[in-house]
Amino acid sequence: MKARELIYFDHNATTPLCTEARQAMLPFLDTAFGNPSSYHRLGRQARSDVEAGRRTIADIFGCRPTEVLFTSGGTEANNLALRGAASAMKDRGCHIITTAIEHHSVLKTCEALGRKGFNITFLPVDSKGVVDPQLVADAIRPDTILLSVMHANNETGAVQPVEEIGRIARQRGITFHSDAIQAFGKIAMGTVLDYADMVSVSAHKVYGPRGVGALLVRRGTSLSPIMTGGHHEHGLRPGTENMAAIAGFAAAAGQAVEKLAAEAARLAVLRDRFEEMLLQTIPNISINSCDAPRTPNTSSICFSGIESESVLLHLDLLGICASAGSACTTGDPEPSHVLRAMGLSSLQAQGAVRFSFGSTTTPEQIDSAAETLAGIVKKLRGVSSLCQN
Amino acid sequence: MGPVSTEKAKPEKLQHDSPQPTDEDAGVIFYNETVIEHFTNPRNVGEIEDADGFALVGDPSCGDQMKLWIKVEAGHIVDIKFKSFGCPGAIATSSMTTHLAMGMYLEDARALTDDDVVRALGGIPANKQHCSLLGINALLFAIKDYEQRSKNQP
């Protein structure tokens, strides 16, 4: 095993900034420093620029510019959606439905709402990591106000039946939020506000800058701000607009949508090739959510008998960046809540490594990483007390 | 001798509404060169078929497990081998434990502590401190097992 160029297989954690986004951001880090709320010419220009960014995002999702709220990222978008809607509708009921496989920014927010008096139902998923819409329908109570189901899972890539779930929610008059942070840019999403009332997206998963995202809010949705301040973002998200980030987000999002079909097809081929190589060269592995509809760039693999951090460190020492479960739980001794919800044992979940491919991924990297991985797994199994030599 | 579970100090979960940041909370794992060297080239990996003492410690569903074999001659450890399932911290501390214990008189080996292992490694990240108990517990139980066997077959 020798040193090599960096192989970045962690695009679900974050992505490198694309040239278009960088270019779009530069003026706002330089002379175009105006505050969109200012009266003077610099302010007016900034207002025009921020609204241009908003129109770009609105066009991509087929919604109105007034339905786009810029936030500091996906986590804030999810917090605003859940806390803001719960707060606005608390007189109508106190029951919230979500799933066991949501990102922590949804799960922990729901748990926090639970401590504030709301009743939370965490729906299970099947062994493929997919939520059954019938379970959603069955979980709805007279006092249910809010439903939150992610579009695609960050760890497994499993795509959830959000359109069907959205139809159920609309029939029953329940506000439906969907965290589409991992779906956006990876699968075609259509006009999301046709089936969801609120949708969260983030820039840095689609080659935009960190620190910016958006909550799309369908007109008429009950939502209260969760911070107090100025009248920014239609009074729902105070704070001076992050001009450079918004410009970068709009540019990156445009690129992502333009390239989506070709890039999704390219990555699916690479992902399949990677998995096929591993299955051929490494015994006792399993691919999580392989029978579910998946985002084309994500491969979550359980290596039996070894522990994921040990795999990650070996990979890292050889210049390959991957992730265990989700990056947010690194250092947390609890194995992936997503894989546990799919019925994997704690031991199985501890051996899970996520590889997420993207614009930088080449066939050569796939071949090289698969070969390296086979050597690492063999070596660790040779040390493992759970494996026979 | 049956499986023995190591006591694992579980860090207390932070309360959502009153975050008290600590060094351990950072979740950042950074191993020094010695730890990485023992992780990538662990010493004394394997099994001893005619071992004089054996221990199985840890619980794989909680993150780590270690098997340790010792061969004893004239009151000292003449051979020691291990196999471990776990994170880099667990593998490196297992390796260092066997490295330190190799050739030691039993009474000296029995006096080894997890601090000795951590010191020999030049330190390990705070949230990996518990790993060092794995190797030490395995060593102590393997010595105990050897003594039990010697008592039964004088």
Contact A388/B at CB under 8 A: no
Phi, psi of B77 (to 5 degrees): -80, 110
Q: What was the pLDDT predicted at B63? A: 87
Q: What was the pLDDT predicted at B29? A: 66
Which residues in chain B are closer than 8 Å to A386, comparing Cβ atoms? 60, 65, 85
User: Which residues on adjacent β-strands are paired with residue B141?
Assistant: none
Q: What was the pLDDT predicted at B15? A: 42
Locate the chain B residue with the closest alpha carbon to A376. B40
Contact A382 B127 (CB under 8 A): no
**A200, A166, A194: which is closest to A181 by C-alpha?**
A200
Catalytic residue numbers of A read 328
Q: Domains (ranges, CATH) in chain A?
A: 7-15+261-383 (3.90.1150.10), 19-255 (3.40.640.10)
Phi, psi of B146 (to 5 degrees): -60, -45
Q: What was the pLDDT predicted at A389? A: 65
Return the exposure string of A330-344: e unless at least 16 CB atoms fall within 10 Å of the residue's CB, then b.
bbbeebbbbbbbbeb
Q: What was the pLDDT predicted at B9? A: 41
**pLDDT, tens digit (0-9, with 9 covering 90-100), for B84-143:** 999 999 999 999 999 999 999 999 999 999 999 999 999 998 888 888 889 999 999 999
Locate the chain A residue with the closest alpha carbon to B86. A307
Contact B27 A305 (CB under 8 A): no
Contact A331 B26 (CB under 8 A): yes
| Pair of tokens at residue A368 | 């090289």
**A102, A105, A142: which is closest to A122 by C-alpha?**
A102
CB B127 within 8 A of CB B11: yes
Per-residue pLDDT of chain A (389 residues; tens, 9 = 90+): 445 689 999 999 999 999 999 999 999 999 999 999 999 999 999 999 999 999 999 999 999 999 999 999 999 999 999 999 999 999 999 999 999 999 999 999 999 999 999 999 999 999 999 999 999 999 999 999 999 999 999 999 999 999 999 999 999 999 999 999 999 999 999 899 999 999 999 999 999 999 999 999 999 999 999 999 999 999 999 999 999 999 999 999 999 999 999 999 999 999 999 999 999 999 999 999 999 999 999 999 999 999 999 999 999 999 999 998 644 444 455 789 999 999 999 999 999 999 999 999 999 999 999 999 999 999 999 999 999 86
Contact B85 A111 (CB under 8 A): no
Determine which of B83, B96, B98, B124 to mutate to test the interface with A (most A C-beta atoms within 10 Å): B83
* Annotated catalytic residue, options B117, B124, B131, B142: B131
Q: What was the pLDDT predicted at B84? A: 97
Contact B85 A108 (CB under 8 A): no
Q: What was the pLDDT predicted at B6? A: 41
B78 SS3 class: strand
Contact A334/B at CB under 8 A: no
Measured in whole angstroms, the distance separating CA B132 from the mean position of its chain's CA atoms is: 5
Q: Domains (ranges, CATH) in chain B?
A: 30-146 (3.90.1010.10)
A134 SS3 class: helix
Q: What was the pLDDT predicted at B129? A: 83
Minimum distance, in Å, between the CA of residue B83 and any CA atom of chain A: 5
Q: ipTM exceeding 0.85?
A: yes
